[in-house]
Structure 1
Amino acid sequence: MRVLVTLLLSCWLGACSTLGVLSPLQDGRAAMLAGDPQGSEAAFAQAMVSISSDDDRALISASDSARTGAALVTNDTLRRYAVAPYERLFMHSYQALNYLALQKPEAAAVELRRADAWQRTQALAYAEKIAEAEGIAPSDTQALSALDDAAARVRSSTQHAGALYLSGLFYEAQDALNDAFIDYRAAWQAQPRNAQLASDTARLAQRLRFDDPTPRATPVAKPLSLSQDARAGDIVVYWERGEIPDKVAFQLPLINSTAYTLVSIPYYPRQGAPAQRLSLQLDGQSPAAELLVDTHALAARTLKEQLPGILLRASVRAVAKQQLQRELNEQSPGLGLLGTVYSLLSERPDLRQWSNLPAQVYVLRQRVAAGEHRLSINGEQPLSVPVRAGKITLVHVVSAPRVSYSRIYPL
């Protein structure tokens, strides 16, 4: 009877867990790529309501208790989905772009400030989380070694150089140079190998008469200022490439005083070289775009930081299932067999994520003469990009399987 009740509760909560915040996040991204900024804005607004509700939840509700209790005898897919930091920051960035597409620059500014404020508050608590994750998470298997390697490519799971750079661009276009400098510098600190971020940071430091914050060893392009040439403007290409890899299941042995148990945990497998070499051409030239956001690395670091909690729940779940099997076996061998089958079938990892995000984001910034310019991605039909003197033109481009998208934002 206990197994039957748990199975029914698992089915009901499992159906509920497919709804909530992930569905509107996926829908918002899909609508954006379909050229529907209004539909995308509505979907992301719905996701934000759900996230805000979770953030403001001071007490655990009865439904949360039910989810947690069921998860301890089933699996983590019954837990309320917690939006990862990088997912939240992509959401704010996309919503800001939606507002720009809908001719609502004030709303875009508010959205970018939300992302900035949230990143700052998260940075304060980040060190403690890292210490805990590094101390508990195992690293003696090939699968988790791949996770470690991917996670090591970024310094923090809460710092999103793409969101920071878009915010900096917006502030610079509004001539709020001090705010732009702060965001460019933070983006460069999150992605220190990106020479474009170093160049923009140094350029604004020069205009604001700050000391140059970039180390001399960093390759920095010659600082440019929009005011230096009244006949020129800047093209900035925000280029999203590929799709974030799926999480996969990994069987990890857990040994306690009474039993040897295999539990399923999620991880990201090692990624090979991309099958398609992507290219960008601007006015017939092939300038190099630089890595701005490594979404795979951010996701891997987030998962690595979650491992202590995942392993703790897996250990408790293994003990609970063993106890359940013993109780059923004492009542009847047939019930004991049913308990064993249930334990095997119910043990699966939580593989949920925002699955239509890009694998990487690259950035290219070029000073060009005012007028029309031709931008081509992967040899496709060139895009005509108008550039105004003394202004910034942002071009959002997406190159992914079965997806080709572009939109121009005069800032």
Structure 2
Amino acid sequence: MSKILNQWKWVLGYALLITIPVSCRTYNDAIGQYYGALSQGRFDEAATQLDRNKFLRYGRNKLLLLMEKGKTAFLQGRYQESNLYFNEADSFLERGRRNKVWDQTLGILVNPAMQQYAGEDFEKLLIHYYKALNYLQLHQTEDAVVEARRISLSNYELNDRKKDKTNKYSNDAFALIMQGIIYESAGDKNNAFISYRNATDVFLRQPDKTYYNTPIPGQLQEDLLRTAYQLGFTTELSYYEKELGRKYSPVKESDGGEVVIFWENGLAPVKVENNFFFTITERGPGNFMFTNPDQTIFIPFDFKLTSSDAGNRLKGLEAFRVAFPKYEEQPLYYTGGHVQVNDTNNIPIPLEQVENINQLAFSTLQERFLKEMALTLARMAVKKLAEHEVKKDNESLGQAVNLLGLLTEKADTRNWQSLPHTIYYSRVPLKKGANKLSLTLSGAHGNKTVTLDVAGNGGLQTIHYSSLQKS
């Protein structure tokens, strides 16, 4: 028992020290000045606030700092600098967590917010999107193609980890669409077709052809059928015409080529803390379950972190609080848009939703709720057992352990907050030479028109525009 006492004296002292600065605020609070400047389009000020932010300098937040700096530089049009940060973020993810044992110990004894941030699965894939866009803006097509290949590797890795793919985020349709655009920009229509086909199949596997609240884009359908036609893949063309319920009609290519416009709208949701209250109950001999007061949630007791008799020792324990993250959606200023080319009287080209990051965030958190809540509850059980054991020998230290549990029961509210709420895109034909595109955004508060200049060069180009207002 003296060994337990000594361990908890050390853990108590360290944990109290590191939790005092963060015990009453969320991640959004910690980066508030940066986030406020970013959301109002003051990108230079946002970059300055990032450099001044001490919280993001903690080693556990390194990935977040790199992603935020990469995104801010992207918004400033500093594409080369942006990729320096994103490449470092990529390398960080490839190396994986260092000191894993210590990292996991902090997560168990203190809370997950003290662990190194490892990124959401969709955040990792979006790093490739930004890197590819940066390379395309810099006319470094070969480097963009490398990112296209890495999208495949990332999707394979995601598929391997999600063995049960039913209603799980195991492939990213937008990443595959982006991959196809990159290959087309490099003149590789065969690989572009494969990417468009794979993206289309992701949508078609869904009962309503909608993927995380994103309907299958008409532009994706057109790109798939067009590349199949151009490559002479008549069997594939007929198959997908039938599956999509549309007939492909070839159109004359524009002399100036085309441009794909990406519009990033709004801001991704932020994480806040959500409190649950649980007790432990026995449903059959040795079958211990955590349940909430109205018994609408039952989560099996995970004995991996505790001894085999832990359930018996915790039975009858008073209800205890568990902190778990939840997302809060950020309001949208604009809800739609279209593009007009060269001030002509042609029908405006609509901007289509291609990735709903807001929905992805909510859905993927819900998908892993039971698994992560089970781990969170097991962590609380470890704390409660330690409190119970320590109290037997030292009432004061036992009360201190209880205080530690209260102070350190925090949800991990970190996420990549400069991501957009939704990404839209449109493919626009160009004439040779100068082109003026009018991008009109619409919403309940009115419309806004932005002019974008593009020189038609006969190839496929990409440009982007961000409207990150949160109110």
Segment of structure 1 superposing worse, 40-49 or 167-176: 167-176
- After TM superposition, which residue ranges in structure 1, 4 or more long, deviate above 4 angstroms? 1-4, 11-17, 219-225
- Using the alignment, how far apart are the partners of 1:370 and 1:223 within structure 2? 24
| 1:70-149 alignment runs, 5 A limit | 70-128=106-164, 130=165
| 1:149-168 alignment runs, 5 A limit | 156-168=168-180
Alignment deviations for residues 13-52 of structure 1 (CA, whole Å, 9 cap, x no partner): 9974543322111111111111211221111111111111
Corresponding residue for 1:218? 244
Corresponding residue for 2:82? 40
Structure 2: which amino acid aligns with 1:81? Y
Corresponding residue for 1:65? 101
Aligned match for 1:338, one of 396, 400, 404: 400
- Are residues 1:306 and 2:375 paired? no
- Using the alignment, how far apart are the partners of 2:85 and 2:93 within structure 1? 13
Segment of structure 1 superposing worse, 231-240 or 300-309: 300-309
Change (3 A) 1:304 1:272: same
3-state DSSP class of the match of 2:118?
coil
Corresponding residue for 1:137? none
Aligned match for 1:205, one of 219, 228, 231: 228
3-state DSSP class of the match of 2:463?
strand
3-state DSSP class of the match of 1:20?
helix
Corresponding residue for 1:406? none
Structure 2: which amino acid aligns with 1:120? Y
Aligned match for 1:262, one of 311, 321, 326: 321
Aligned match for 2:73, one of 27, 31, 56: 31
Shift of 1:276: 3.5
Corresponding residue for 2:425? 363
- Using the alignment, how far apart are the partners of 2:322 and 2:18 within structure 1? 23
Change (3 A) 1:243 1:220: farther
Alignment size in residue pairs: 369
Corresponding residue for 2:271? 247
Corresponding residue for 1:152? none
Corresponding residue for 1:53? 95
Report if aligned partners of 1:156, 1:190 keep a CA contact under 8 Å in 2: no
- Using the alignment, how far apart are the partners of 1:26 and 1:7 within structure 2? 33
Change (3 A) 1:50 1:223: farther
Structure 2: which amino acid aligns with 1:214? Y
Q: Give the TM-score normalised by the residue count of structure 1.
A: 0.80
Change (3 A) 1:44 1:322: same
Structure 2: which amino acid aligns with 1:325? E
- Report the RMSD for the aligned CA atoms in angstroms: 2.9
3-state DSSP class of the match of 1:342?
helix
Report if aligned partners of 1:235, 1:393 keep a CA contact under 8 Å in 2: yes
Change (3 A) 1:43 1:280: same
Report if aligned partners of 2:268, 2:330 keep a CA contact under 8 Å in 1: no
Corresponding residue for 1:21? 63
Structure 2: which amino acid aligns with 1:384? D
- Using the alignment, how far apart are the partners of 2:104 and 2:59 within structure 1? 12
Shift of 1:111: 1.6
- Using the alignment, how far apart are the partners of 1:49 and 1:274 within structure 2? 33
Change (3 A) 1:32 1:8: farther
Change (3 A) 1:262 1:99: same
- Using the alignment, how far apart are the partners of 1:374 and 1:84 within structure 2? 35
Shift of 1:220: 4.7
List gaps (5 residues or longer) in structure 1: 132-154, 404-411
- Using the alignment, how far apart are the partners of 2:121 and 2:372 within structure 1? 17
3-state DSSP class of the match of 2:232?
coil
Change (3 A) 1:303 1:381: closer
Alignment deviations for residues 343-364 of structure 1 (CA, whole Å, 9 cap, x no partner): 1121111111111111111111
3-state DSSP class of the match of 1:343?
helix
Corresponding residue for 1:279? 337
Query: Greater CA radius of gyration, 1 or 2?
Result: 2
Structure 2: which amino acid aligns with 1:29? K
Report if aligned partners of 2:113, 2:411 keep a CA contact under 8 Å in 1: yes
Corresponding residue for 1:393? 461
Percent same amino acid among aligned pairs? 24
Change (3 A) 1:308 1:394: same
Structure 2: which amino acid aligns with 1:343? G
3-state DSSP class of the match of 1:38?
helix
Segment of structure 1 superposing worse, 168-177 or 4-13: 4-13
- Using the alignment, how far apart are the partners of 1:377 and 1:233 within structure 2? 22
Alignment deviations for residues 270-322 of structure 1 (CA, whole Å, 9 cap, x no partner): x4863444433323554221111111222233323433442222222121121
Alignment deviations for residues 163-210 of structure 1 (CA, whole Å, 9 cap, x no partner): 322221222233321100011122223344222111111111122222
- Are residues 1:315 and 2:416 paired? no
Change (3 A) 1:297 1:199: same
Change (3 A) 1:281 1:101: closer
Structure 1: which amino acid aligns with 2:451? P
- Are residues 1:194 and 2:253 paired? no
Structure 2: which amino acid aligns with 1:170? I
3-state DSSP class of the match of 2:438?
strand
Structure 2: which amino acid aligns with 1:84? E
- Using the alignment, how far apart are the partners of 1:156 and 1:397 within structure 2? 30
- Using the alignment, how far apart are the partners of 1:300 and 1:17 within structure 2? 27
Shift of 1:91: 0.7
- Using the alignment, how far apart are the partners of 1:279 and 1:395 within structure 2? 15
- Using the alignment, how far apart are the partners of 2:256 and 2:432 within structure 1? 5
Change (3 A) 1:402 1:43: farther
